[in-house]
Amino acid sequence: MEANLETWSKERLIARINDLEAMVDSLKTAGSDNKVLSVKMRFNLTFKQARLLTVLSDGRPKTKRAIYEFVYHDEFDDPPEMRVIDVFMVHVRKKIAPFGLFITTMRGAGDSSGFKLNDATLFDLVMSDEVDLETLPKAPQRERPGKENENLVMNVLCQAMDSSGRAKMLGRSIAKAAGLTVTVGSVMKRLEKKKMVKIIGCPRSGASDRPWIVQVRAQK
């Protein structure tokens, strides 16, 4: 059944237009799957991760929505939640760092947050093998923002939870899956304070063999 646009609020119409513009922009920018495959092989990425990097390869800033729309533009049945882009970003950043490439985060509200590749010219040189790795600049050390850690841990918990929304995992497993450089406990406490999870059980000090047991409340 077709949507009755006359009943939509102004805010909903604007949001829908922004989503469509983001999808069109990402499709125009990313190019063909042949380029994606080349990026995949050059940086040893998965196909979805290569799509993400390809979208950013022109050096222009892209919103998270635009990146998501391209990465999953051909999946109509059951695409994952948008937070999967944050997970992909962790892996892509690690893969491109040895080449002097890095991706900066642009802060915004919700889907308006985005990312930008530092150097499109360097990216093209790396793709053409016309670059000496010994002379490349080192990617700057970046402290991952607390919200990014929270999103990554929430993604891990959502994948591990059962049908009732309860997740049970060892702290070291959560840290490894989310790529954390901070303690799991500090992230869990922030998530509980924001009422995104309810901590049912947690390991005592020195008892790393006891799992975290949480009830997932928010799955945005």
Quote the pLDDT of residue 105.
83
Does 2 fall in a domain? Answer: no
All residues at 6 or more sequence positions from 177 whose CB lies less than 8 Å from its CB, including other chains: 156
The mean pLDDT of 192-206, rounded to a whole number, is 83
- Quick: pLDDT tens for 11-20: 767 766 766 6
Cβ burial of 43 (10 Å; 0-12, 13-18, 19+) is buried
Q: Are residues 151 and 187 in the same domain?
A: yes
- Quick: pLDDT tens for 36-68: 899 999 999 999 999 999 989 988 888 888 888
Alpha-carbon distance of 133 to 122, in angstroms, equals 11
Cβ proximity of 177 and 156 under 8 Å? yes
3-class DSSP assignment, residue 73: coil
DSSP string computed for 163-191: TTSEEEE-HHHHHHHHT-SS-HHHHHHHH
Q: Does residue 107 carry a pLDDT above 80?
A: no
CATH number for position 48? 1.10.10
Q: What is the pTM of this model?
A: 0.53
Task: Label residue 220 by pLDDT band (50, 70, 90).
Answer: very low
Cβ proximity of 60 and 22 under 8 Å? no
Q: Does residue 137 carry a pLDDT above 60?
A: no
Structural domain tally of the chain? 2
Task: Label residue 109 by pLDDT band (50, 70, 90).
Answer: very low
Q: Give the number of other Cβ atoms within 10 Å of residue 119's Cβ.
A: 15
Q: What is the average pLDDT value for the chain, to the nearest integer? A: 78
Give all strands of the β-sheet with 103-106 in edge-to-edge order.
62-63, 114-117, 103-106
Question: Which residue among 78, 102, 135 closes a domain?
Answer: 135
Cβ proximity of 212 and 173 under 8 Å? no
The angle that helices 146-160 and 171-178 make with each other, rounded to 10 degrees, is 120
Task: Label residue 100 by pLDDT band (50, 70, 90).
Answer: confident
Quote the pLDDT of residue 2.
47
Q: Are residues 120 and 185 in the same domain?
A: no
Quote the pLDDT of residue 32.
62
Question: Which residue among 135, 167, 193 closes a domain?
Answer: 135
Quote the pLDDT of residue 136.
58
- Quick: pLDDT tens for 145-157: 567 788 888 888 8
Alpha-carbon distance of 191 to 185, in angstroms, equals 10
Q: Are residues 42 and 105 in the same domain?
A: yes
Alpha-carbon distance of 16 to 78, in angstroms, equals 19
Q: Are residues 150 and 129 in the same domain?
A: no
Alpha-carbon distance of 105 to 62, in angstroms, equals 10
Burial per residue of 68-94, b for 16 or more beta-carbon CB atoms within 10 angstroms, e otherwise: bbbbbeeeeeeebebbbbbbbbeebbe
Q: Does residue 74 carry a pLDDT above 80?
A: no
Question: Which residue among 135, 154, 169 closes a domain?
Answer: 135
| Host domain of residue 44 | 11-135
